Chain A
Amino acid sequence: MSAFLALLARDAHVARRNFVPLMLQTMLQPMLFVFVFGQVMTRSGMMTPGYEDFLLPGIMAITMMMTGIQAVAMPLISEFQFTKEIEDRLLAPVNIQWLAVEKIVAGMLQTAVAGCVVAPAAYLLISGGAGASLKRPVEAVVMALLVALLSSAVGLLMGCSVGQTQIGLLFSLVLAPMIMFGCAYYPWSALASFPIVQKLVLLNPLVYASEGLRGVLTPHVEHMPVWVVMLVLALMDALIVAAGLNQFMKKAVG
């Protein structure tokens, strides 16, 4: 247990040292998006008012997903590369699965921090503050935890499956479509006129993050039923954590 905490302390230390660049990296894009879509487009009348209520939870979902994925995957990719920075931690006297678990926990903590920063910022930036509310705090916390776990688990899986040279591809071929087809900027129901796409995106974890956060933050807008989303998220979490751990073990031992 003390080794586990020490591993966590190491990641916290490094994250604190890189706090400003890390924050900029995860915050800038969603903030720009909030400004353009939440302010410019709605005030000029190009978007109907009320769009903000769809947008706010979507932006939260993107921020949380991207934070977790990047916080876990990026360091892992480089640490497993030929610099082998991770070796010393693999030699720590704990089962090496715990190192993967620690990575997930560290990713969830960073996701939580990002969520806590982006929520009020987005709330303030969006004109009128959107119709977000926290009337169901327990559900909101459970949902946020499920999303945070999902993002870190996806990060673990990607971090152990992708090489340094493929990072560019990861962004353009995996993350970009994931964001655009993640139902973050529009509700899932908006895809009704594209039935095939609508079915296909159900494989995209971000869809459940977006719809789930809508369900708990802006329940008055259209969204998937909260309990369905929670169930799917729990399943996806379990699956992706298992796959990530498996991949980690393969990568870690020669």
Chain B
Amino acid sequence: MAAGAGIRTVNLCKVYTSPPPAASGAATLTLGPQRGPGLRNKKVEIQALAGLSLEVRPGEIFGLLGPNGAGKSTTAGILTTRIRPTSGEAWVGDYEVWRDQVKAKRLIGVVQQRPNLDFSLTAREILQFHAAYFGIGKAERNKLSSELLERFQLTDRADELVRGYSGGMMQRVAIARAMMHHPRVLFLDEPSTGLDPQTRLLLWEIIREYNAEGTTILLTTHNMEEADALCGRIAIIDHGKMIALGTPAELKASIPGGYLLRARLSLGADEAAGRLRNEAGVSEVQVTGGRLDIYADRGGALVGLLVSAASACGAELLDLEISEPSLENLFLHHTGRSLRQ
């Protein structure tokens, strides 16, 4: 099998000039400031990407992690010839995608966020026609399709029209299809959304195996466990910009302190914060309303300090949540928002 190819984007920008299609999954949660309710009849401008530069090395599993509307699908769309960038460059292997579309398409396999199977065909036919589009001969495509159907546990119903499939089965067909022509780069846009936990594990295993054969994988997800479990490196993006980049371990280590204590006090949050900032091992304290976000090098051991700081200000500790170093905390640290919302 051919070795994986690299991916590179240079200063990628994308401004959509029409509102997102209603059925789009991303449309429900848009964070861009451009879309106020007053803009209904004016010309829309949605800045989905604001100068994104990425470099994915050949053979790695690279994760794009970010909340809904961050620009993950737009990035994947541009790299796979499906969305025209407003400016910037997008490279797959040796080809700039928008100058050498056909050559770039030969290198890539794509699983889009929304299932888009050919409903007029059976699962087996979908795989076989896909291979035929890529010029793979008949004997070879029969063999490959049977193998992949087996691997994705679809053999039983392979000769039914996919119309009647469940969401999870459709997703598996879509992933198998993207693998049919042995792409050198595989794009997986939120591949495990809608999968049950068991199938998700099967998928993770298949992704790792596939990557072990050399294929580069670009995976987008808003699920940090998935990014943590699969990716060699991760870029965290928000509002079309990169906020952090590194291995999961590096990223977690980059959070000041690592542990996060989120506390709510009845009053005096600012004063308590002042006291806590001077404590050894506390690297940062942020205050929002009555809430304290304390980044520190330990978790439970700080509870005593927190309680005494609170009582010194005459306040009561109403609520406390302790979390270990995680990508979630990192995102929260950079944006003040949770990835999950």
Query: Are B102 and A94 closer than 8 Å at their CB atoms?
Result: yes
- A154-186 contacts to B, CB under 8 A, are none
Set of chain A residues within 8 Å of B129, measured between Cβ atoms: 6, 9-10, 13
The verdict on B120 contacting chain A, using a C-beta distance below 8 Å, is yes
Q: Which of these, B23, B105, B116, B120, contacts A93 with CB under 8 Å?
A: B105
Which of the residues B84, B125, B132, B177 comes within 8 Å of A253, measured between beta carbons?
B84
B residues near A87, Cβ cutoff 8 Å:
82, 112, 116
| Interface-located stretch among A60-68, A78-86, A187-195, A234-242 | A78-86
Residue in chain B with minimal CB distance to A254: B83
CB within 8 A of A3: which of B77, B82, B120, B133? Answer: B133
Chain A contributes a number of interface residues (CB within 8 A of B) equal to 27
Cβ of B80 and Cβ of A9 under 8 Å apart?
no
Chain B minimum-CB-distance residue to A5? B132
Query: What is the total of A-B residue contacts with beta carbons within 8 Å?
Result: 82
- A92 to B121, Cβ gap below 8 A? no
> For A83, what are the chain B residues with a Cβ–Cβ distance below 8 Å?
116, 119
Query: For the complex, what is the distance from the CA of A88 to the CA of B108, rounded to whole Å?
Result: 12
Give the distance in Å from the alpha carbon of A17 to the alpha carbon of B116 in the complex: 20
Question: How far, in whole Å, are A220 and B115 apart by their CA atoms in the complex?
Answer: 57
The answer, yes or no, to whether A44 is at the interface (CB within 8 Å) is no
- Assembled-state Cα–Cα distance A116/B117 (Å): 33
Query: Per a CB cutoff under 8 Å, which of A9, A17, A88, A96 touches B118?
Result: A88
Q: How far is the CA of A82 from the CA of B121 in the complex (A)?
A: 18
Judge whether A91 is part of the interface by a CB distance below 8 angstroms.
yes
Do the beta carbons of B82 and A253 come within 8 Å of each other? yes
**Complex-state Cα separation, A94 to B135, whole angstroms:** 11
B168-194 contacts to A, CB under 8 A, are 177
**Residue A138 at the chain B interface, CB threshold 8 Å:** no
In Å, the complex CA distance between A88 and B117 comes to 8
What 0/1 pattern do residues 1 to 20 of A give for CB contact below 8 A with B? 01100110110011001100
Partner of B132, one of A9, A18, A96: A9
Bound Cα distance A90, B119 (Å): 15
Does A89 sit within 8 A of B, measured CB to CB?
A: yes
Q: How far is the CB of A174 from chain B (nearest CB, A)?
A: 24
A48 to chain B: which residues have CB within 8 Å?
Answer: none
On whether the beta carbons of B83 and A85 are closer than 8 Å, the reply is: no
Chain B residues at the A interface, C-beta cutoff of 8 Å:
16, 21, 23-24, 77, 80-84, 101-102, 105-106, 108, 110, 112, 114, 116-121, 125-126, 129-130, 132-135, 177
Sort A-B residue pairs by CB-CB distance and give the 9 closest, nearest first. Answer: A6-B132, A92-B133, A82-B23, A84-B116, A254-B83, A87-B116, A14-B120, A2-B135, A93-B105
21 contacting pairs across A/B (C-beta < 8 A)? A2-B135, A3-B132, A3-B134, A6-B132, A6-B133, A6-B135, A10-B121, A10-B132, A13-B121, A83-B119, A84-B112, A85-B117, A85-B118, A87-B112, A88-B133, A90-B81, A91-B80, A91-B110, A93-B134, A254-B82, A254-B84
Identify the A interface with B (CB < 8 A).
2-3, 6-7, 9-10, 13-14, 17-18, 82-96, 253-254
